[in-house]
Amino acid sequence: MDFDAIPETALAWYRQGKGAALATVVETWGSAPRPVGSQLAISGDAGIAGSVSGGCVESAVVTEALDAIEDGKRRILEFGVSDETAFEVGLACGGKIRVMVEPVGGSLSEDILAELVAKRATRAPIAYVVGADGRGELQDPALHAARFRADKSGFEEDGETFVAVHNPPLRMAIIGAVHIAQALVPMAKMAGYDTFIIDPRAAFASEERFPGETLECDDWPDVALKNWGLDSRTAVVTLSHDPKIDDPALIAALNSNVFYIGSLGSKRTHAKRVERLGEAGFSAEDIARIHGPVGLNIQARTPTEIALAILAEVTAVLRNGA
């Protein structure tokens, strides 16, 4: 089941003439198998993609969704997850979940779903908001900044307006295929980041050192980053400790809206970096976006500890702001 393409799947099924509905977890109590915002797509022939409960209540949701596809009406379902059932899906105790079922072409218009899918395809954050009247609309993420920073869908204070956060997947560009990168890449992937390793030194950026990873050693970092694309859900970390390699990447990052920029090096190294970037025309405010020395100050010594400090700082900036 593809947990990253649920709206896309529902739209495809609907346009294939199968009929479709989207089920979304809108509220949870106690120990819930899936967080608020989790989605399940259901086709008119009972096909499913995604999950709202890890298997606890999917069959009941599918039954309700098939009825919704028939009559075009939204449904709000509430389920209790018993302690025994919860244990079977890896939870210590039970809880309750509330699920909203929206039939495509009914309460969820095809046009809105298509626009949502188009926004997601361009990595543009977008909010899908359903009011008390059951009508859904797309809204600017700036209206829900705290929710988007926390990746937290949920009801507003009125208890009736539900905001579904659609954030692009997180990404991390790592410049310098060094030992720290070998530790940082698997950590970042476990934290939900797609990683991209750039190093013009082919001996470093090799398949042997980074098996199965996305590597770039043909283009210089600024060119590689431009081709890859930089946006507000991207972190850039430079680790080569070589200004010839790191500085082009930093300049590309500073000219973008990436949410995090970090660069390896001592305070003395960073002071020289600041001087170079100032001479390149960047203001003190621009340069202050760079976290240098990179990572939280946890007195890290080993490559693994430094990688841990970097990921912790990236997470802090992502969730709390710069």
| Burial class of residue 283 (count of CB atoms within 10 Å of its CB; 0-12, 13-18, 19+) | exposed
Helices (H), 103-197: 110-121, 145-150, 179-190
The pTM of the full predicted model, rounded to 2 decimals, is 0.83
**Sequential pLDDT tens for the chain (322 residues):** 345 799 999 999 999 999 999 999 999 887 677 889 999 999 999 999 998 887 778 889 999 999 999 999 999 999 876 655 554 544 445 678 899 999 999 999 999 999 999 999 999 999 999 998 999 999 999 999 999 988 999 999 999 999 999 999 999 999 999 999 999 999 999 999 999 999 999 999 999 999 999 999 999 999 999 999 999 999 999 999 999 999 999 999 999 999 999 999 999 999 999 999 999 999 999 999 999 999 999 999 999 999 999 999 999 999 987 6
Cα–Cα distance measured from residue 224 to residue 200, given in angstroms and rounded to the nearest whole number? 10
Break the chain into its structural domains and give their ranges: 6-166, 170-320
In CATH, 170-320 is 3.40.50.720:
yes
Cα–Cα distance measured from residue 226 to residue 249, given in angstroms and rounded to the nearest whole number? 10
- In the chain the beta strands, taken as DSSP E runs, fall at 20-30, 39-43, 48-50, 75-81, 95-103, 126-130, 136-139, 154-155, 162-166, 170-175, 193-198, 215-216, 234-238, 260-263, 290-291
For 203, other C-beta atoms within 10 Å of its C-beta total 10
Cα–Cα distance measured from residue 20 to residue 8, given in angstroms and rounded to the nearest whole number? 11
